[in-house]
Amino acid sequence: MFHREAGIFKTTYAADMALYPLPIAKWTVAVLALLFVVIVPLVLAEYYLSILNLIFIAIVGALGLNILVGYTGQISLGHGAFMSVGAYTAANLAVRLGLPFWLTLPAGGLMAAFIGVLVGIPSLRIKGLYLAIATLAGQLIIEWTINHVPAISGGAQASIQVPRPDLFGLILNTQSRLYFFLLFFVVLAIVATLNLMRSRIGRAFIAVRDQDIAAEIIGINIYRYKLLSFAISSFYAGVCGVLYTYYFGIANYEQFQLIVSIDYLAMIIIGGLGSVLGSIFGAIFVTLLPIVLRLLLENVGSLVFSDSELANVISGTRLAVFGALIIFFLIVEPEGLNRLWRNVRNYFRVWPFSY
């Protein structure tokens, strides 16, 4: 039906916290489910599925970082390293002990959560700039350790080949099989985050972000919740790292360098801090941007640059556009794409009676 709400008539907290605030939300979810479970895998070619898969993995990581930065108001420049912790934990378990993915995945997440808490301990004493620098140090130390300790990195190349995940005998070696595998985890991550933010924990995070001293006065143990936020956030990052590892079939520390931490920060800033939908928008945007840029530059750029220069130009443009977008959104629209989407939606929600 096309009926819409005419105002806010919620009378109970339960109604205010409902996952489906409006009946139409159920229909939206049903349509999205149909689209992603049935139509997309039937219609799209392998190449486009592979892009979707990358977006799915990025969404998991972006959600995690948004829990920490957007909801709890901390900052982390170390999320790339937390992903590598998850990736190498899973890779080592899978290769050395032959464990299946449903054991290595949570193990990678838990290990990342543990390391994340260690790196997050300075957040108990310091914040803002100092925390940024402390997590930066965490990133660099973890990168160095993985690269220099063969017991973790598996030899000179610092990379470990991982067998494809195996689901009840079905080996997930094609993009369409991986698609369902990753779709499951991305839905899990989205629902888990939505629910987390409705719970006591999530609202404690938001209280810590908005005014930490006031939060402490109303009885929130801010030490506990800050560390919990680091733990949950790095758990997501670890799972994201494991998914990357299974997706590429290899764990390599070069996929998780400082620049990755910045990519993910870009995602949540462009998408919108403190919003689940924003994390999704940001992950889509940041994953698609280099692909679109590459397409554009390969077609247009070849008129100006030689082939050998082109690779340089593409990677340079990508970085520069990322940086410019971060600055642009910070200055012009700090709430990101999510805010733009809400503006559009609110306009049409009351259209044509916009007064």
Which tokens go with 293? 């840029």
Shortest approach of other proteins to residue 113 CB, angstroms?
19
Q: Is there binding between residue 289 and other proteins (CB under 8 A)?
A: no
174 versus 315: smaller Cβ distance to other proteins: 315
DSSP secondary structure string for all residues of 17-39:
T-S-SSHHHHHHHHHHHHIIIII
133 is a site residue for other proteins (CB under 8 A): yes
Nearer to other proteins among residue 299 and residue 306 (C-beta): 306
Q: Binding of other proteins at residue 132 (CB under 8 A)?
A: yes
Check residue 160 and report its DSSP letter.
E
CA atoms within 13 A on the CB side of 95: 19
The Cα–Cα gap between 38 and 349 comes to 29
Does residue number 100 form part of the binding site for other proteins (CB under 8 A)?
no
Instruction: State in angstroms the smallest separation of the CB of 175 from other proteins.
Output: 30
159 - beta bridge partners?
252
Identity of the residue, 206 or 325, whose beta carbon is nearer to other proteins in the bound complex:
325
Q: Which of 222, 250, 277, 289 binds other proteins (CB under 8 A)?
A: 222
Query: β-strands 159-161, 166-167: how paired?
Result: unpaired
Q: Which residue has the tokens 């009676």?
A: 353
* 112 SS3 class: helix
Q: 112, 128, 114, 149: which is closest to 256 by C-alpha?
A: 112
Q: Is 5 helix (H, G, I), strand (E, B) or coil?
A: coil
Interface with other proteins (CB under 8 A), residue from 68, 266, 276, 284 = 266
For other proteins, the closer of residues 28 and 302 by Cβ is 302
Residues of the shown chain interacting with other proteins in the complex, contacts defined by CB under 8 A: 69, 73, 75, 77, 121-122, 124-130, 132-134, 136-138, 140-141, 144, 147-148, 212-213, 222, 262, 265-266, 269, 309, 312-313, 315-327, 330-331, 334
